[in-house]
Structure 1
């Protein structure tokens, strides 16, 4: 990376930070917690830790506020804090060494093209029953659907819920969850019909709900509790499975996204057990030894059939050759895994909240020397 690129990154890091500080609700929450916290470390300690993290990464250490390193309840050493990657460094410096983000986003951020890609390479994906695109309703195989056909299809489905998802939605936003009734599928007392779907603004996919493994149903039954699995393809073609968290809904919510208030717990990749005996949110350091709804004891967590699940995830990542750095959302069923979606630019705060700092998976030595990034290509 030449001097011009280096200077550009430094300027953009500061612009991004202050823009998010002023406009981003999540960033505002982080600084509100910081400003109102009553159990902060002494100011001199906070100032020194921020200074050393800034010098180490050469970028603004946003992770200090995301994960409440300033709290007296944070017992990480400074060396352990250094393992946490700042968001700008991850998204703008590391990612370009692996993928052309502008090129891969159309492949997997659009749920229609993503699922067609999955189907072509033989991945076990979610069950899309209706596609709404450019005002037309079709099956996933592009068969035109009439009002009568949709009515017949919904009458024969046995799933308890339909997930009606915006094609370009992220973080669970905009999802309509229709529940099975004696009249069919309904949302807010309205029956899901051809006309209902046509009236929606924009493009959508309608997915039949996945029946998750009974073990995960016992953890929390209102949502499908998915694995967020991170895989990396190296320059030699090998694929590594580097991190996983189990995501869980809370408070009766029917989605497990951490951005919607869900909990998460890091998974030990060797055993399938929890890395820690407690779950957290993706920000802050609040701990839950038991699920607040089901009272499931997280110290006893062990993903069922873990060795098989792990192997299936690796095979899945090996098949998706178009993308090298992926955050997978994976449902576990009695019969194996189902791919909900793949994410580029996946949430670094989420994964580091569950498994700790990811620095060593991407950088050997000091990160400010960019050539220490694995697979560094000078971008």
Structure 2
């Protein structure tokens, strides 16, 4: 409770300096009302920027209890499907077998056991790990691979290994790779139009999908995430920013959002490139929507957050999440409880 109170104080300090905030009495009244209606301390009232003048429907935003009701629901989530989503190796093998577009799985390791095609190699130290990836580069003609710890989510436990800087990178990441189970995937080439906004990370679109009782697949919302400041990940939890997407047009809409702990500033343009977000047309957006629906058809969990990257030749799935936090999509949509399907979703949960 003390840590939560300290976090709330920090948030309040940011709120006080926010030029877009409502009047002090209105904020106090709404925060107390949110507390009463949701039955919990109003962390999300501040964390989701409900104190800002533009937000009129603050009661339609999810509380942490409502988020848990969805993410922990046994009606919306099937254990076996969640296992496919959370284990990156199982996910990659299942998607490849069903011809759903993902980055190519090159090899993988279970601790010191490394698997490439039908052969296994025992790799126990830095020199042998360097030798292994040298062999991978020679056999595949690739110059870089992306290594991801199988059980990590949200961009954590991900390492870029390149032929050019192999020894330096292996020396830096060897302990993490050898002491974990990892997949080794082809590196995504990002569409040039998106590189113009921010080229240093793969900037993904997060789609939330819902499979209703009749088997119809719905896309509830979408927003696009961008890294900043040279960061190679786009996650908002790592300091990145996100912009809502108009589902009807596939265009970015309005200004960016950033988590309150990173200052919460809304920007009209990317701070590194000065590229304006609003009305940017996402390449292959319709194809990305179809890819999401295809993915749900082969992993029919009823509520999934999908991360989609856009390459020069079309969209690919980076990962699917059955336990996404719903903070960012709730903000991007403008209050999920106002969504026409959400009464059904909460009832199903």
TM-score between both structures, scaled by the size of structure 1? 0.78
> Are residues 1:143 and 2:126 paired?
no
Residue 175 of structure 1 corresponds to 158
Note the C-alpha offset of 1:49.
0.7
Note the C-alpha offset of 1:362.
7.2
Whole-angstrom CA distance in 2 between matches of 1:227 and 1:249: 12
Whole-angstrom CA distance in 2 between matches of 1:213 and 1:309: 13
1:19/1:62 Cα in 2 relative to 1: closer, same or farther (>3 Å)?
same
Note the C-alpha offset of 1:157.
4.9
Whole-angstrom CA distance in 1 between matches of 2:176 and 2:134: 14
Residue 349 of structure 1 corresponds to 327
1:150/1:62 Cα in 2 relative to 1: closer, same or farther (>3 Å)?
same
Contact map agreement 1:235 1:375 (CA 8 A) in 2:
no
The match for 1:254 among 214, 227, 232 is 232
Q: Which runs of 5+ in 2 are unaligned?
A: 123-127
The match for 1:51 among 32, 49, 62 is 32
Deviations 1:345-374 (A, max 9, x none): 11211222333211133766xxxxxxx543
Whole-angstrom CA distance in 2 between matches of 1:252 and 1:126: 23
Note the C-alpha offset of 1:198.
9.1
1:345/1:30 Cα in 2 relative to 1: closer, same or farther (>3 Å)?
farther
Greater shift in the superposed pair: 87-96 or 122-131:
87-96
Q: How does 1:65-214 map to 2 (within 5 A)?
A: 65-70=46-51, 73-77=52-56, 80-93=57-70, 95-96=72-73, 98-100=75-77, 103-139=80-116, 141=117, 143-145=119-121, 150-155=133-138, 157=140, 161-181=144-164, 185-188=166-169, 190=171, 196=174, 200-214=178-192
Contact map agreement 2:101 2:291 (CA 8 A) in 1:
no
Residue 125 of structure 2 corresponds to none
Deviations 1:3-46 (A, max 9, x none): xxxxxxxxxxxxxxx38727xxxxx5454121464346555423
Whole-angstrom CA distance in 2 between matches of 1:288 and 1:199: 37
Residue 295 of structure 2 corresponds to 316
Contact map agreement 1:225 1:248 (CA 8 A) in 2:
yes
* Equivalent position SS for 1:327: strand
1:254/1:267 Cα in 2 relative to 1: closer, same or farther (>3 Å)?
same
Whole-angstrom CA distance in 2 between matches of 1:187 and 1:82: 51
* Equivalent position SS for 1:317: helix
1:93/1:155 Cα in 2 relative to 1: closer, same or farther (>3 Å)?
closer
Greater shift in the superposed pair: 153-162 or 46-55:
153-162
Deviations 1:257-309 (A, max 9, x none): 11111111010011011121x21214464111111112211124110132232
Whole-angstrom CA distance in 2 between matches of 1:91 and 1:178: 36
Residue 15 of structure 1 corresponds to none
Aligned residues between the structures = 337
Residue 368 of structure 1 corresponds to none
Q: How does 1:291-370 map to 2 (within 5 A)?
A: 291-321=270-300, 323-361=301-339
Residue 4 of structure 2 corresponds to 21
Contact map agreement 1:213 1:332 (CA 8 A) in 2:
yes
Note the C-alpha offset of 1:191.
8.8
Contact map agreement 1:165 1:176 (CA 8 A) in 2:
yes
Contact map agreement 2:149 2:182 (CA 8 A) in 1:
yes
TM-score between both structures, scaled by the size of structure 2? 0.85
* Equivalent position SS for 1:376: helix
* Equivalent position SS for 1:96: coil
Note the C-alpha offset of 1:95.
4.8
Note the C-alpha offset of 1:134.
4.1
Note the C-alpha offset of 1:74.
3.3
Note the C-alpha offset of 1:136.
0.7
The match for 2:10 among 32, 40, 44 is 32
CA RMSD of aligned residues (A): 2.9
Contact map agreement 1:220 1:294 (CA 8 A) in 2:
yes
1:333/1:297 Cα in 2 relative to 1: closer, same or farther (>3 Å)?
same
Residue 8 of structure 1 corresponds to none
Residue 197 of structure 2 corresponds to 219
